[in-house]
Amino acid sequence: MMNVSLNHADFLQLQRWNTPTIYNGWEQFTRHSPAQAGFNLEETRDFMPHMGPMVGRAVTVVCEPSNSAHPKKNAHAWSEYRRYVASVPGPKIVIVQDLDKPRVIGAFWGEVNSNIHRALGCVGTIIDGGIRDLDEMNHAGFKALARRLCVGHAFSCPVRWGGEVEVFGRCVQPGQLIHADKHGFLAVPPEDEERLLEAARFMDANECQTLIPAARDVSGKSSEEIRAAIDEAALRFGAAAREKFGRKGEW
């Protein structure tokens, strides 16, 4: 079930950090395993890293571009699918499972589809398949994490939508909060949304107040003094994390 506690301002603030920073906050309080839950298990490629992170609610769809039967089975599939996409509050990220994997036979995304989805409140996509019209997708302001580029669309069309999908080894539910950038993506468990922004802020500040300055303030110091300063900073980092979350943090 979708958590509606986050407002547009929260989304804008979540977008200010990269996905690893969001993960660093999330791992401090989640009951899920930080080694087995949340993030993609297979390599993704961000084709628009200059756009920075994207944050949104998952809208989900399955395609199979190699199968010519799909467009014939439902002549209204695109229209019905777009009705589903439009019904979900934005910002939205389209999560596409390509059944042709590991092959890439056709691209679900190109210039026209990107512009249409942008009009429906979508900021980008994560597709375990191909995209095309890269320059035009950039012009539309539609970010894409995908496996590779592809020349043609083949028989791309929505096969089913609004259900669980699996992309890059991670299952994603409709409405799930997604944070994604050039490092990959994090599919946030619904019960973890409320504390996510505060936790990311805290852990980022914790690093900036302890370990990072200790590692950079080295002018005129011996290697032993530098090591001692880093050890002391790591202790302060862990103490702050334990006081806030009951966990010692990454260091």
In a domain, 198, yes or no: no
Indicate whether 183 and 231 sit together in one domain.
no
121 and 47 co-located in one domain = yes
Domain containing residue 181: 8-191
Residue-wise pLDDT tens for the chain (251 aa)? Answer: 444 578 899 999 999 999 999 999 999 999 999 888 999 999 999 999 999 999 999 999 999 999 999 988 998 999 999 999 999 998 999 999 999 999 999 999 999 999 999 999 999 999 999 999 999 999 999 999 999 999 999 999 999 999 999 999 999 999 999 999 999 999 999 999 999 999 999 999 999 999 999 999 999 999 999 999 999 999 999 999 999 999 877 87
Is 170 among the domain residues? Answer: yes
Does residue 205 sit within a domain? no
For residue 219, tell me if it sits in a domain: yes
How many domains is the chain built from? 2
Query: Is 181 found in the same domain as 87?
Result: yes
The residue type at 29: F
Nearest alpha carbon to residue 145 among 181, 97, 171, 191 = 181
Same domain, 186 and 223: no
Query: Does 39 reside within a domain?
Result: yes
Residue 104: per-residue pLDDT: 96
Both 34 and 108 in a single domain? yes
State whether 109 and 163 are in the same domain.
yes
CATH of the domain at 77: 3.50.30.40
Same domain, yes or no: 176 and 239: no
**Residues facing 55 on adjacent strands:** 179
- Count Cβ neighbours within 10 Å for each residue of 115-137 and write b for 16 or more, e otherwise: bebeebbbbbbbbbbbbbbbeeb
How confident is the model at residue 4, as a pLDDT?
53
Verify that 177 and 224 share a domain, yes or no: no
Using omega within 30 degrees of 0 as the cis cutoff, is the peptide bond preceding 174 cis?
Answer: no
CA-nearest of 19, 186, 172 to 97 is 172
Burial-class residue 32 by CB neighbours within 10 Å (0-12, 13-18, 19+).
Answer: middle
* Residue 167 and residue 214 in one domain: no
Residues 216 and 184 in one domain: no
pLDDT given for residue 250 in this prediction:
80
Same domain flag for 185 and 237? no
Residue 4 DSSP label:
-
Calpha distance 73→155 (Å, rounded): 12
175 and 225 share one domain: no
